[in-house]
Amino acid sequence: MADEPVIVIGAGPAGTRAAQRLVQAGLRPVVIDENDRQGGQIYRRQPENFHRAPEKLYGTEAAKASSLHTDFDLLRPHIDYRPGTTVWGVSNEGLMTVRGQDVTIVPFSRVIITSGATDRIMPVPGWTTPGAYSLGAAQIALKAQACAIGRKPVFMGTGPLLYLVAWQYLQAGVKPAAVLDTSALSTRMRGLRRMASRARVVANGVRYMANLARAGVRLHAGITPRAIEGSNNQVSGVVWRDSRGKLRHAACDAVGMGYGLRSETQLADLLKCEFIFDPCFTQWRPHVDRNGRTSRPDVYLAGDGVLLRGADAAEAAGQLAACAVLRDGGHVVADTEFTQLHETLTVMNRFGRGLAEAFPWPAHLARALPDDTVVCRCENITAGEIRRAAGELDAPEMNRAKALTRPGMGRCQGRMCGLAAAEILAAARNVPVREVGRLRTAAPVKPLPLNCTVRS
């Protein structure tokens, strides 16, 4: 399909910079964006009829957000932009996309996937109570709709997003009841060594924490989540053990939670890219070389959809993947451009790994989850059911467990629960988590209306 266009999937920092670089080389890429407006998640744009200032929405990153939006607007005449469009499958003829009820087959010569990431969730008793959200959802509500998830939310989990979202809520006039971080202060200090290379980013994080503390928001480190409480089918409080083991409680009307991020890797899986287990992020991801080339010669990956390094790295990685596409397609790209981007990303790699060390995924919590805690919320599958698959039904890996007791069998195909379910299965079988594998992706990646028709 050499004559077909280059496709960029996603229009966040990585996708935008990839498209921009392709246009600079004289190409006219197709940019497929699941969102209705360009920007991605961290630089998500508000609807057209909303008029909040960038400083209000993006804080210290306002200038970057504005530049990403402006640059994209300038690209519009030179690209085939398809907003509100989801890639849901792969056929021999090309990518299967859907917008509303219209399915289109999009042939490609090469494709750059910049599918981003979603929150990594560790279930806790009560987490399916109405009023409990992921951190990302809490942020989308605020950015896209100027809505808060509650008047008095608790933010619980770990990672920089915890403090960013709490701070954004504070800025919007909603004072969080507490911020609960499973990472201990000493753990964070260890990760800080690698993060020193990006002092400004660390300083921003510290500033968010300081602002929260100054406003009287309690920040707890090294906590162990115990339960999200509810009354009248609505979140009413959070119970946790503090770093000294004391049982604590905070009243609240909503919870935003997340334990770092997980890459959205389904499309790379459907395209049969090779996957590896990344011990730093303790998750499976597609294998890429340092330019974003996968095991498939026509598929490239960039951004948090393959390596969790944040928005700045995503911009560089997007440009780099585009450079690789151009060079592989016979265009001239100077070595210096590759070298400069590699240098930028070396710093980001170190920083990303430092973050993962400072805010580790609390895998140990999976082992202690009570049997009756729901893990897969689509199918209402409990930790006990996963343990039954591990033991009585002898499932050695995730797909077998899914076949026998259904974790990951529902609408989200395990995007929400898969990593936690893998920890529970691994703990029950007493093996490292990499040995229980990963859930295979099936089309459609997102639910597909049954009344669709193919438009040619």
Partner 1 sequence: MTAYPTNRMQADVIIVGGGFMGAATAFFLRRQGLSVILLERDLVGQAASGVNFGNVRRQSRYLGQLPLANRSRDIWLNMPRLIGEDAEFVMSGHILVTTSEKDGDRLEKYAVDCKPYGLDLTIMTGAQARAKFPMVGPEIRTVSYSPLDGHANPRLAAPAFGRAARRAGARVIENTEVCAITKSAEDFIVETRNGQSFQAPLLQISSGAWGRAMAASFGEDIPFAANGPQMGVTEPLPYRIEPVIGCASSVPEEGVYLRQVKRGNIVFGGGLRSVADIVTKRAPIDPLNTMRQMPHLARLVPQMARLRIIRTWSGVEGYVGDNLPIMGPSSRVPGLFFAFGFCGHGFQLGPGVGMTMAELIATGRTDIPLEPFHIKRFQ
Which tokens is 101 given?
Answer: 């009820």
Please, are residues 161 and 206 in contact by the beta-carbon 8 Å criterion?
A: no
Please, are residues 47 and 25 in contact by the beta-carbon 8 Å criterion?
A: no
Q: Which residues bind to partner 1, rule: CB under 8 A?
A: 88-93, 96, 103, 105, 379, 393-394, 396, 400, 403-404, 409-411, 413, 442-444, 447-454
Least Å distance between CB 412 and partner 1?
Answer: 9
Least Å distance between CB 415 and partner 1?
Answer: 12
Least Å distance between CB 37 and partner 1?
Answer: 24
Which tokens is 343 given?
Answer: 């240098």
Cβ neighbours for 323, distance < 8 A, ≥ 6 positions apart: 21, 291, 333, 337, 338, 341
**Of 93 and 289, which has the nearer Cβ to partner 1?**
93
Radius of gyration in angstroms for the set of CA atoms belonging to the chain, rounded to a whole number: 22
**Of 20 and 86, which has the nearer Cβ to partner 1?**
86
Partner residues linked to 180 by β-bridges: 156, 220
Question: Can you say how many angstroms the Cα of residue 436 is from the centroid of all Cα atoms in its chain?
Answer: 22
Least Å distance between CB 408 and partner 1?
Answer: 10
**Of 79 and 375, which has the nearer Cβ to partner 1?**
375
**Of 54 and 396, which has the nearer Cβ to partner 1?**
396
Least Å distance between CB 391 and partner 1?
Answer: 12
| Other CB atoms within 10 Å distance of the CB of residue 73 | 10
> What does the alpha-carbon distance between residue 238 and residue 240 come to, in Å, rounded to a whole number?
7
**Of 69 and 406, which has the nearer Cβ to partner 1?**
406
Least Å distance between CB 137 and partner 1?
Answer: 20
Least Å distance between CB 91 and partner 1?
Answer: 5
3-class SS at 317?
Answer: helix
Please, are residues 282 and 361 in contact by the beta-carbon 8 Å criterion?
A: yes
**Of 47 and 449, which has the nearer Cβ to partner 1?**
449
* Cis peptide bond N-terminal to 444, omega within 30: yes
**Of 350 and 406, which has the nearer Cβ to partner 1?**
406
Least Å distance between CB 431 and partner 1?
Answer: 15
Least Å distance between CB 444 and partner 1?
Answer: 6
Reference 429, options 386, 380, 377, 379; nearest CA is: 386
> What does the alpha-carbon distance between residue 42 and residue 197 come to, in Å, rounded to a whole number?
22
**Of 38 and 86, which has the nearer Cβ to partner 1?**
86
| Other CB atoms within 10 Å distance of the CB of residue 394 | 10
With b meaning 16 or more CB within 10 Å and e meaning fewer, what string describes 375-391?
A: bbbbbebbbbbbbbbbe
Output phi, psi for 207, to 5 deg. Answer: -65, -40
Residue type, 184: A
Cβ neighbours for 199, distance < 8 A, ≥ 6 positions apart: none
**Of 134 and 413, which has the nearer Cβ to partner 1?**
413
**Of 313 and 390, which has the nearer Cβ to partner 1?**
390
Least Å distance between CB 125 and partner 1?
Answer: 23
